């Protein structure tokens, strides 16, 4: 069970920045080709959300949850990663 949890958090930790970076890069590349102001605003919002959630929050959240699982003792045994 601990290995499954570890694999899940590893996927979030490395997959979040990968997906967030791809979305941010894609929206940055697409912005000059878009003419409509409302669509440009939506692309800028998507880029900002991708950076915030994918690049900052996912790795930080994974580190915090990993710390809690390794340091908090449940039933006398810690979930060591």
Q: How far apart are CA 8 and CA 12, in angstroms?
A: 6
pLDDT score at 66: 73
Helix, strand, or coil here: 74?
Answer: strand
Predicted TM-score (pTM) of the model is: 0.60
Residues 39-59, mean pLDDT to the nearest whole number: 85
Mean pLDDT of the chain: 77
Residues 24-42, mean pLDDT to the nearest whole number: 87
Higher pLDDT, 77 or 35: 35
């Amino acid at each position: 069970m601990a290995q499954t949890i570890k694999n899940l958090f590893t996927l979030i930790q490395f997959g979040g920045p990968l997906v967030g970076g791809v979305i941010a890069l894609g929206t940055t590349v697409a912005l000059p080709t878009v003419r409509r102001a409302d669509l440009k605003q939506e692309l800028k919002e998507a880029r900002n959300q991708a950076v915030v959630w994918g690049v900052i929050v996912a790795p930080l959240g994974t580190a915090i949850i990993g710390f809690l699982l390794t340091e908090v003792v449940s039933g006398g045994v810690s979930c060591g990663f």
